[in-house]
A and B are shown apart, each in its own frame.
Chain A
Amino acid sequence: MPRLKRGKRSSRNGQTKLRRKQRAAQQRRVKRAGRSRSSTSSVRYAAKKSSKRSLLSTAGTYDSSHNRKDHHRVPVVSVIIPVLNERKTIERVVHEARRTHPYTEVIVVSNGTTDGSDRLAERAGAKVLRYKQALGHDVGRKVGAEMARGSVLLFIDGDMVLAAKQLRPFVQAIQNGADVALNQYSGPQQQRDVHPVVLAKYALNALLQHSELRGMSMTAVPHALSRSALYTIGVEHLATPPVAHAIALQKGLKVKACTYIPVGKLNMRRARSTAADPLKLVVNNDHMQAVRWLLENTDHRGGLTDLNRQRQQVR
């Protein structure tokens, strides 16, 4: 399958160009694949990667889709991947996810998929939950978490290939006693005007008395939760990550800043729509929902001091 894809691409792009790019890709690391904006090079890179791996494991073939280990014991790590038409990357994502830990289950929540991503994921060895309709932004995480059996839940995206090496620190952080392991990514930094969503993340952390987390949030992937943290937070809140984030911090869970993975850069290649990004609205709104949760579960000041303010003097 990957070979076929590669052939297709090369015929479209021309042989010399491809060869040149291929040579460059060999020299680069995994990060570079995401950074380069043209989707062709990243796809070709994918083909290369997976073809190499197919020599090592038999994951590419049909009957190896169920790892024999999975049947015998409960998985330690559950990797949850919401997918909506991410055919280009899903196979590689699943491959990498399966390698994060010897006992790993990969749960792909395919919602509204029409391009066969779900079949590709299944073939790559993931457990696939299928939904005809799109569940909504981040709702897939909730659905996946409900099905997860592992003691560590790792959340990644289907459109962003992260090497198993990059994912392992998150699992290890949970195994070493943290409840929540976050990506140390705080949002695009170099911009002159701050992005509204980034501002919301910073502000929410400040409201929760955790300014040291800067802009880190459970909104960003990858992040990992322990099973106990899942129960404390409540599975239903995973659909609105800022709420889950607020609960985790408010209830005093051990939130650990893990490694730095610049997901913003990796995400760049998504075509920017002409109009204002509606997602901005939703994510910002999610942060307001987090504020509402705080207001409902603490007092109207978020449990913060009023410093001897004599309000009754104003009559």
Chain B
Amino acid sequence: MQVSGSERRFRRRVRLSRKRGRREAVQRRKSQSTLSRPHKQASESRHTRHSSRPNRKEHLTSRRVQRTGVSRQSGSKRKAMKPVHKVDELQLYRGGSSQSRSASSQLLYSKRFLRAAGNRDATQWGLADRVLSSLQLTRQMNQRFSQALQLEGVAFPADVHASYADVIALGRSYAEGYADVRNGIGADVVLLPTTMRLGAVLCAYNEQDSIATTLKQLARLPLDEIVIVVNGSVDRTFELARKSLPEAIVVHFDKPLGHDVGRAIGAKLLQVDAVLFTDCDFTIEGEQLGAYLWSIASGVDVALNDIRPFMDKFEQQDGISYCKQWLNQELGRSDLAMNSLTAIPHALSSKAIHTIGYEALYVPPRAHALAVLHGLHVQTACTVDVITQNRLRTTNIGLGNPVAQLIIGDHMEALEAVWNWKREELNAVQSVRADIAWRRNT
């Protein structure tokens, strides 16, 4: 058989790397033999619990991968697979044990602990939760969950840079422990271990079909206050809002308030540390909504929805997204791309609301511009597809539709805010025109 030179070289390299890989795998097995127990448990529990974090799974199986799959992979790839950074990312435990335990086993250990704590709390307090509504139950569970974490010596979010997925995973194991005793009650709550008071604003305009499901998702979160702004609704929206979440504050307006005015009203009424803004257009999972609040709890002032994954290539986008991107560029935040307060869901801290003023919220791009200009910490938190799932109405389809014009007008207001803010800076650039022309051409 005729084999070309390059082919031969390639084969030789593969052979070498295979040999090297095998040697390394053996060494690694030797060094890890003391840690074999937690790994075994890990692989057991992987089947019973669905891990919310895909790359942790990868880590659990990494040993097997290293043994079998290494022959086909180059050294650098193998290195990338080994989640070294996870260890300091998940410093759940203080003290000596954290040095020897691997990250996943730490997380699993605390999961077991929290599950036990859930069991204990359910037996201790469980019977009392019959009289509680779903939101009250979530709140109570969240409180106990936070206490349990404190007992563990974990204070969220101050000393932990755990990802949101880890937080959710911990909360879920607590909830599972609780639900085991209580026959499934409280199994689906989303627990956010924070001492902040959380709130949500929901705007509803003829939403009788979807308001119940939206409120159900909201009730999974440990919210202290909810404001539902029902405006101009001629269907059963108000009735369903009262019925499905009795402890929510429902503000009712006979006439439609217009776009985004409900947000400002809700923000004014709420007395909480973090406010989540959403609407009823389609159902967003509680875990996703919680991401925005968690982002606020970990120090962000404005947590935005990241809609970048759903956008087309630049040439295929519409005028609104050009405006959004340009606004961010003028604000010096090109990294935000087209993400702004225009898209729900998003969350604001009370600091942000006080800084920009709740009145600003009825023109979301202007509120966004003000938030950035005031130096607030604006970040994307989570990705919810509001582009393809958005309900089509008669007013928001077609070129030059009224809603598009409204949003573009909003961006004019935002740019006005930018002008008012950096007038001198912008005018100064004009004076160097001649200078630049000279430098460019000589």
Show the binding face of A for B, using Cβ within 8 Å: 84-86, 111-112, 114, 133-139, 159, 186, 189, 194, 196, 199-200, 202-207, 209, 211-212, 214, 240, 270, 278-279, 281-282, 284-285, 287-289, 291-292, 294-295, 300-302, 304-311, 313-314
State whether A282 and B411 are in contact (beta carbons under 8 Å apart), knowing that A307-B403, A308-B258 are contacts in the complex: no
Query: In the complex, A199→B317 CA distance in Å?
Result: 11
Known: A137-B434, A282-B430. 19 other contacts (CB 8 A): A84-B438, A135-B434, A137-B433, A194-B325, A207-B323, A285-B430, A287-B326, A289-B430, A291-B415, A291-B416, A295-B416, A304-B406, A305-B402, A306-B409, A307-B406, A313-B253, A314-B268, A314-B358, A314-B359
Residues on B with C-beta less than 8 A from A301 are: 409-410, 412-413
In the docked arrangement, what's the CA distance between A19 and B165, Å?
67
Per a CB cutoff under 8 Å, which of A114, A289, A306 touches B406?
A: A306
- Chain B proximity of A195: nearest CB distance (Å): 10
Residue on B nearest A133 in the bound complex, by CB = B434
Please tell me if B426 contacts chain A, counting CB pairs below 8 Å: yes
Cα–Cα distance between A270 and B413 once the two chains are bound (Å): 37
Report Cα–Cα, A61/B442, bound state, in Å: 29
B residues 128-157 near A (Cβ < 8 Å) are none
A139 with B434: CB separation less than 8 A: yes
Counting contact residues on chain B (CB < 8 A from A), the size range is 35 or more
Q: What 3 pairs across the A-B complex have the smallest Cβ distances?
A: A206-B319, A304-B409, A309-B258
Please give me the residue from chain A that is nearest to B429 by CB atom: A285
Select B419's contact among A133, A186, A291, beta carbons within 8 Å: A291
Give chain B residues whose Cβ lies under 8 Å from the Cβ of A307: 258-259, 402-403, 405-406
Determine the distance from Cα of A204 to Cα of B329 in the docked complex, in whole angstroms. Answer: 13
Decide: B430 and A209 in contact? CB cutoff 8 A.
no
On whether the beta carbons of B322 and A313 are closer than 8 Å, the reply is: no
Taking a contact as CB atoms under 8 Å apart, the answer to whether B402 and A207 are in contact is no
Distance in angstroms between the alpha carbons of A177 and B398 in the assembled complex: 30
Q: A206-B319, A206-B323, A310-B257 are in contact. Are A300 and B416 (CB under 8 A)?
A: yes
With a cutoff of 8 Å between Cβ atoms, the chain A residues found around residue B429 in the complex are 281-282, 285
19 pairs, A vs B, C-beta closer than 8 Å: A136-B436, A199-B326, A207-B415, A214-B315, A240-B430, A278-B440, A284-B330, A288-B418, A288-B419, A300-B412, A301-B412, A302-B409, A304-B409, A305-B409, A306-B409, A309-B261, A310-B255, A313-B253, A314-B268
Q: A112-B437, A282-B432, A291-B415 are in contact. Are A314 and B406 (CB under 8 A)?
A: no
Report which of A85, A189, A270, A288 forms a contact with B426, defined as CB distance below 8 A: A288
Contact A112 B399 (CB under 8 A): no
Inter-chain CA distance A289–B402, complex, in Å, is 26
How far is it, in angstroms, between the C-alpha of A287 and the C-alpha of B329 when the chains are bound? Answer: 12
Cβ A199 vs Cβ B325 within 8 A: yes
Contact A288 B358 (CB under 8 A): no
Measured between beta carbons, the chain A residues less than 8 angstroms from B436 are 136-137, 278-279, 282
Are A304 and B405 in touch, CB under 8 angstroms? yes
Residues of A with C-beta under 8 A to B125: none
Q: Which of chain B's residues 267-314 have a Cβ closer than 8 Å to chain A?
A: 268, 314
When C-beta atoms are compared, the residue in chain A nearest to B422 turns out to be A288
Which of B253, B325, B426, B440 contacts A203, CB < 8 Å? B325
In the bound complex, CA of A313 to CA of B334 (Å): 34
> In the assembly, what is the distance between CA of A86 and CA of B441, in Å?
8
Q: Which residues of B contact A292 (CB under 8 A)?
A: 419
Question: Considering only CB atoms, which chain B residue lies closest to A309 in the complex?
Answer: B258
Contact of B432 among A133, A278, A305 (CB under 8 A): A278
Q: How far does the alpha carbon of A112 sit from the alpha carbon of B429 in the complex, in Å?
A: 20
Judging by beta carbons under 8 Å apart, are A137 and B426 in contact? Answer: no
* Known contacts A136-B436, A206-B323: A294-B412 contact under CB 8 Å: yes
Which B residue sits closest to A209, measured CB to CB?
B400
B405→A311 contact, CB < 8 A: no
The docked-state distance in angstroms from the alpha carbon of A203 to that of B399 is: 15
Interchain CB contact under 8 A, A134 and B438 = yes
- Residues of chain A lying within 8 A (CB to CB) of residue B113: none
- A304 to chain B: closest residue by CB: B409
Interchain nearest-CB distance for A13 vs B (Å): 25
Q: A134-B434, A206-B323, A291-B419 are in contact. Are A304 and B442 (CB under 8 A)?
A: no
Beta-carbon nearest neighbor of B406 in chain A: A307
Residue numbers in B under 8 Å from A202 (CB-CB)? 319, 322, 326
- Determine the chain A residues whose CB is within 8 A of the CB of B430 once the complex forms: 240, 282, 285, 289
List which B315-338 residues lie within 8 A (CB) of chain A.
315, 318-320, 322-323, 325-327, 329-330, 334
Of chain A, the residue at the smallest CB distance from B360 is A314
| B329 in contact with A288 (CB, 8 Å) | no
Determine if B256 is an interface residue (Cβ-Cβ < 8 Å): yes
Q: Name the residue of chain A whose CB is nearest to the CB of B315.
A: A189
Contact A313 B409 (CB under 8 A): no
Q: How far is the CA of A313 from the CA of B60 in the complex (A)?
A: 56
**CB within 8 Å for A310 and B261 given contacts A200-B326, A282-B432:** yes
Interface contact B330-A207, CB-CB below 8 Å = no
CB–CB B362/A314 < 8 A: yes
Q: Does B116 sit at the interface, judged by CB under 8 A?
A: no
Within the complex, the shortest CB–CB distance from A219 to chain B, in Å, comes to 14
User: In the complex, A106 Cα to B257 Cα: how many Å?
Assistant: 59
Question: Across the interface, do A314 and B259 meet the contact criterion of CB distance under 8 Å?
Answer: no
* B261-A136 in contact (CB<8A): no
Interface residue B202 (Cβ < 8 Å from any Cβ of A): no
Contact across chains for A203 and B437 when beta carbons are under 8 A apart: no
Inter-chain CA distance A247–B264, complex, in Å, is: 34
Give A130 to B416 CA distance when docked, in angstroms. 39
A206-B320 in contact (CB<8A): yes
Residue from A114, A199, A306 within 8 A of B258 (CB atoms): A306
Nearest-CB residue, chain B, relative to A139: B433
Q: B400 — which chain A residues lie within 8 A by C-beta?
A: 209, 211
Cα(A289)–Cα(B423), bound, Å: 10
The reply to whether A84 and B264 contact each other, CB–CB distance below 8 Å, is: no
Q: How far is the CB of B13 from chain A (nearest CB, A)?
A: 32
